[in-house]
Amino acid sequence: MIAFAYMNCIADLIADAELTEKIFWLRFEALRKLRRLVAIYEEDGFKSELVEAVFCKKAKYLMEATTKKETESILKPSTPRYSGGEFLPKGDYYVEEEELILWSRTSYLRPLALEEQKRYQELFGHYFGDEAA
């Protein structure tokens, strides 16, 4: 399904006669980078629905981007900010599904602190509540 969404984005770029060559190549390269990123998530065995959501949401942002700075911000990992004893979404291009993937990867590398565990459980429950039960 990600391959289909990727090809649709590329087709939309090609079909958009109003795009400048600069914007075309900016978005094209950003989409290629995004595809490589989500391929890593796929190879790591993350649930396809999560990976697809990351791709589709970030691709939607990229299809509207007009500057290199924007594409770089979109491609950055969706990490939360810590404020008032809790983790909160951060940034204009935040994707919750990617944050969940990142918490999962982090928990594999090291034990999570109490606040980190709470955020990870919150996100996990949001996406897998019925399955986890």
Residue 85, pLDDT score: 87
Helical pair 68-75 and 48-62, crossing angle rounded to 10 deg: 170
Q: Which residues contact 32 (CB under 8 A, 6 or more apart)?
A: none
Kindly tell me if the per-residue pLDDT of 82 is higher than 60: yes
Q: Give the percent of the chain with pLDDT over 70.
A: 97
Residue 132, pLDDT score: 57
List the structure tokens of 60.
């939607």
Nearest residue to 88 (alpha-carbon basis) of 122, 113, 54: 122
